[in-house]
Structure 1
Amino acid sequence: MTARAFVSLVGAGPGDPGLLTLRGRSALASADVVLVDYLAAPELLAHAPRAEVIYVGKKGYSPYISQQDINALLIEKALEDGGKRVVRLKGGDVFVFGRGGEEAQACRAASVPFEVVPGVTSAIAAPAYAGIPVTQRGMASSFAVITGREQDGDADYGNLSGVDTLMLLMGVRNLAAVARKLVEAGRAPSTPAATVQWGTTARQKVAAGTLATIADEVARAGIEAPAVTIVGDVVRLREELRWFDTSALFGRNVVVTRTRDGNSALADLLRAKGANVVELPLIKFVPTSDTMALYRTLSQLRSYTWVILTSQQGVSELFRHLEEMGQDARAFGDARVAAVGPATARALERHGIRPDFVPSTPGAAHLGSALPARAGARLLHLASHLAEPDLDEALFARGLTVERAELYGTEPNEPSDDELAALQAADVVTLASGSAARAFAEVAGTNFKVAVMGPQTEKAAREVGFTKITLAREASLEALVEAAESAMGTMKG
């Protein structure tokens, strides 16, 4: 047995990528190979950037690789090339009708070390996102999860008579038969029931009725697998407790323009609102064109009166370069530091720098006009080679000049045909920089509603031809989400 061989059986959660556990994310980050199910959110693979990805199906009644073949592949990959770390990424929870026990047994039989990383099961999450608690004081104190698949064997419905809430997994095709058997076992035909398809995602759809009507309601709504059916009095609480599918962005197609290396924090916030997020990388960050010139400047940071940062990416690149130089925040010495807005300020604070100045209204022009600098002060702006001119212009109008050092460059990133096709259904596009506005206009035109972050971005968007523009109230991702809601005229009061 090789020392490195290891298998992580990871529950991917019910569909919302934000419901992956921290332990699951850590396992993906160290994976050499990922075997992934149909129900696992594709976005989760971003946590495994260096892994070989193998799709192993597991889609309802459709043909897919057999469980025996999956077990064999797990072992094969774990033992390959002297041993690899393999993640088996499974929709929902590993041990709730996920056949994770069989995969664990296969690892044990082959003497391959393994771990089990539980996931959020759809049996609990789908009802929760539909506004249905599986227990409720005075209404339901017990629940059971059962399968509706014939090949998994019939449940003993008589033994379930004392359970308040039932969650039926994988039972859409057999829903009428299961409902009939529950009634035959003693449940009243008028017992509330609801079926949730694609729970926790922007595709979520809910049909509600009773045991007597739920199969017809599901057929009428066009609901298919994957779905969870909830049976019990708690279903009555849905109209009172609905929250996810009533949010302003639920089911809307929102385009997030970002760099391919950027984080997905904005996408996560939008998905939490129920949006269908299309991440469209239009620009990518590249190394500065003159590293030696940059390092000469950074070695003299303490000689400047003010050091100015105008983006989170700039902060990230600055500290990456300082680390390569063997430096840290102490390189600033007595130099004062200014940030263009709260998001950039927070990025600095994460590196131990509390900005000396942040304008009350975010934006380069506001920063330049309000920066408390006196004549003769040495000012240094650390940014990309395409930084907007607003800061320089505002400072020049006050008789001040600023030196600029290029921390990084940006280049266009050509979208794929699939990404371009996804734009056709876009309800709103988010733009967080002037370069993103220009790049988007070039590849997709300007006939879109856009939500923009910062006056700089708004100005750039207007210059390239956008007319349906909503400006975020501040330079933060939360405010950009609000702007996206307002852009569609659906902002909640």
Structure 2
Amino acid sequence: MNFDTKPLSGKCVAVTRPREQSTEFVGLLNAMGAKTIEVPTIQFAPPTNRKALDDACNSANTFDWIVFTSTKGVEAFMERFIALENDIQSLKHIRFCAVGPATAAKLTDYQLSVSAVPKEHRSEAVAELLAEYVRGTRVLLPRADLAGTNLPDALRHAGADVHDVIAYRTIPVQSKRHDVHTMLIEKQIDVITFTSASTVRNFVAMMGGGSVTELVTHTLIAAIGPVTADAARSLGMNVAIVPKKHTVSALVEAIAAYFKITDPTYR
């Protein structure tokens, strides 16, 4: 083994998350020696009609809980909250729940304390964690337009008065389709990373739709968590890497660990 070689030296890793969220991820991969190719498959936009979001922002201090399931949800809600000249101090008494450590850290950027973070960083775990605390309370849930109904339904079943509001829209991006398709055929990409189910679905659409099983046969698929992994598997991908902790840093570490085990040059 060459101890001067970085863990991902010589590996090409495709990053499919939105460009505005890829800086940290790309930096971590590059630090490990990887060559990265950015293939953003989604981008974010404000709601088509902001009235519901504005109403939620202006009445945010009347809720008992505000629950966030992504860092983008925090950014979109808080940016609008501040733009409407609301005072963050008015939220200090509210209990906040974050789906994972990255989302919790984003809340602390706004000097907001987080009361609850589930051990498993997924919406189902949020519902399980909050079930015994939310009966008779008002819960605000600012999320993406494509978010499912399982979380608000579960919280309502637990007795909460849930206000589910669209904080931002997720829009497909059409970019680099030909280049990436060719690179996959020529086996030039070692790993494709996915950080949400939306990145999976829109990557498949970018590649022409239908089955991508044969296209990615010789490429490792790395998913940030089980929900993302399930989305990839449902669309014909063999997911090889899912970190135990569902963060981009853990994903990078898991990719490096995979090659350390499977690549004879590291032995």
Task: Name the TM tier (shorter chain).
Answer: 0.7 to 0.9
Classify 1:267/1:423 alpha carbon distance in 2 versus 1 (closer, same or farther; 3 Å): farther
Give secondary structure in 1 for the equivalent of 2:20: coil
1:294 equivalent among 31, 47, 53: 53
2:134 equivalent among 367, 374, 377: 374
Structure 1 position 267, deviation (Å): 0.5
Give secondary structure in 2 for the equivalent of 1:370: helix
Report what 2:68 is aligned to. Answer: 309
Question: What TM-score does the superposition give when structure 2 sets the normalisation length?
Answer: 0.85
Task: Give me the whole-angstrom Cα distance separating, in 2, the residues matched to 1:350 and 1:434.
Answer: 26
Report what 2:254 is aligned to. Answer: 483
| 1:250 to 2:9 alignment | yes
Structure 1 position 302, deviation (Å): 1.4
Structure 1 position 390, deviation (Å): 4.1
Between 1 and 2, higher relative CO (CA 8 Å, sep ≥ 6) is seen in 2
Classify 1:428/1:335 alpha carbon distance in 2 versus 1 (closer, same or farther; 3 Å): same
Q: Percent identity?
A: 29
Classify 1:393/1:296 alpha carbon distance in 2 versus 1 (closer, same or farther; 3 Å): closer
1:421 equivalent among 173, 182, 198: 182
The answer on whether the counterparts of 1:278 and 1:422 sit within 8 Å (CA) in structure 2 is no
Task: Give me the whole-angstrom Cα distance separating, in 2, the residues matched to 1:401 and 1:484.
Answer: 41
Structure 1 position 256, deviation (Å): 0.7
Deviations 1:77-129 (A, max 9, x none): xxxxxxxxxxxxxxxxxxxxxxxxxxxxxxxxxxxxxxxxxxxxxxxxxxxxx
Q: Write out aligned runs for 1:126-205 (5 A).
A: none
Structure 1 position 315, deviation (Å): 1.4
Report what 1:352 is aligned to. Answer: 111
Task: Give me the whole-angstrom Cα distance separating, in 1, the residues matched to 2:233 and 2:154.
Answer: 20
Structure 1 position 322, deviation (Å): 1.6
Structure 1 position 398, deviation (Å): 3.8
Structure 1 position 391, deviation (Å): 2.3
Q: Which amino acid aligns with 2:254?
A: A
| More helix, by proportion | 2
| 1:436 to 2:169 alignment | no
Structure 1 position 457, deviation (Å): 1.6
The answer on whether the counterparts of 1:470 and 1:484 sit within 8 Å (CA) in structure 2 is yes
Task: Give me the whole-angstrom Cα distance separating, in 1, the residues matched to 2:248 and 2:235.
Answer: 23
Aligned length: 252
Classify 1:410/1:420 alpha carbon distance in 2 versus 1 (closer, same or farther; 3 Å): same
- Asked which structure has the greater CA Rg, the reply is 1
Structure 1 position 328, deviation (Å): 4.0
Task: Give me the whole-angstrom Cα distance separating, in 1, the residues matched to 2:56 and 2:196.
Answer: 25
The answer on whether the counterparts of 2:44 and 2:171 sit within 8 Å (CA) in structure 1 is yes
Structure 1 position 278, deviation (Å): 0.8
Report what 1:94 is aligned to. Answer: none
Task: Give me the whole-angstrom Cα distance separating, in 1, the residues matched to 2:140 and 2:110.
Answer: 19
The answer on whether the counterparts of 1:318 and 1:407 sit within 8 Å (CA) in structure 2 is yes
Deviations 1:296-327 (A, max 9, x none): 11111111111011111111112211221112
Task: Give me the whole-angstrom Cα distance separating, in 2, the residues matched to 1:365 and 1:329.
Answer: 28
Report what 2:165 is aligned to. Answer: 405
Structure 1 position 254, deviation (Å): 0.6
Classify 1:373/1:423 alpha carbon distance in 2 versus 1 (closer, same or farther; 3 Å): farther
| 1:340 to 2:111 alignment | no
Structure 1 position 486, deviation (Å): 4.5
Structure 1 position 248, deviation (Å): 2.6
Classify 1:388/1:255 alpha carbon distance in 2 versus 1 (closer, same or farther; 3 Å): farther
Classify 1:483/1:328 alpha carbon distance in 2 versus 1 (closer, same or farther; 3 Å): farther
Task: Give me the whole-angstrom Cα distance separating, in 1, the residues matched to 2:25 and 2:242.
Answer: 16
Deviations 1:27-62 (A, max 9, x none): xxxxxxxxxxxxxxxxxxxxxxxxxxxxxxxxxxxx
Structure 1 position 381, deviation (Å): 1.1
Classify 1:433/1:303 alpha carbon distance in 2 versus 1 (closer, same or farther; 3 Å): same
Give secondary structure in 2 for the equivalent of 1:251: coil
Task: Give me the whole-angstrom Cα distance separating, in 1, the residues matched to 2:249 and 2:69.
Answer: 18
Q: Write out aligned runs for 1:200-215 (5 A).
A: none
Task: Give me the whole-angstrom Cα distance separating, in 2, the residues matched to 1:461 and 1:399.
Answer: 33
Unpaired runs of at least 5, structure 2: none
Q: Write out aligned runs for 1:252-291 (5 A).
A: 252-291=11-50
The answer on whether the counterparts of 1:301 and 1:333 sit within 8 Å (CA) in structure 2 is no
Q: Which amino acid aligns with 2:145?
A: H
Classify 1:350/1:423 alpha carbon distance in 2 versus 1 (closer, same or farther; 3 Å): farther
Report what 1:453 is aligned to. Answer: 224
Q: Which runs of 4+ in 1 moved over 4 A?
A: 486-493
Question: What TM-score does the superposition give when structure 1 sets the normalisation length?
Answer: 0.48
Classify 1:334/1:383 alpha carbon distance in 2 versus 1 (closer, same or farther; 3 Å): same
